[in-house]
Amino acid sequence: MQQTLDQQRQQTKTAAVVASVLWVLTTILGIFTIIYTRIVIFRTYIRFVPEGANALSLFNIIIVLVMASFFIAIVIGGVEYHRTRYGSPQSWRIFAIVLALEIGIVLLPLFL
């Protein structure tokens, strides 16, 4: 029984460390997503609408505002969410979703 409790403590500790590392990772990738979203949208827009360069400054503001909101949600919301749920399936699930989207955005400039 004592061994099982130790194991559980160890597992909880490991889960907390992994969750912290993943949160840091989502935060770092979050910064890149702002930069890359901007690059990809600008580049794609200009390639399809070469005469529409005037709209870029407006796009710039909108993109940065929207992505910054997401970033804040990931950083602060992430802490709040995972602090109480780390190690739970819901927590891992949210990590999977956020990381998938962030990796998707970071990969996008390779293809667009």
Return the residues of window 3-42 that contact another protein according to CB under 8 A. none
Among 3, 47, 54, 84, binds another protein (CB under 8 A): 47
Number of residues that bind another protein (CB under 8 A): 20
Task: List Cβ<8 Å contacts ≥24 apart for 94-100.
Answer: 95/19, 95/22, 95/23, 95/26, 98/26, 98/74, 99/22, 99/25, 99/26, 99/29
Q: Which alpha helices (DSSP H) does the chain contain, by range?
A: 2-48, 56-72, 78-85, 89-111
77 near another protein (CB under 8 A): no
| CB closer to another protein, 62 vs 100 | 100
52 near another protein (CB under 8 A): no
Interaction site with another protein (CB under 8 A): 44, 47-48, 50, 92-93, 95-97, 99-101, 103-105, 107-108, 110-112
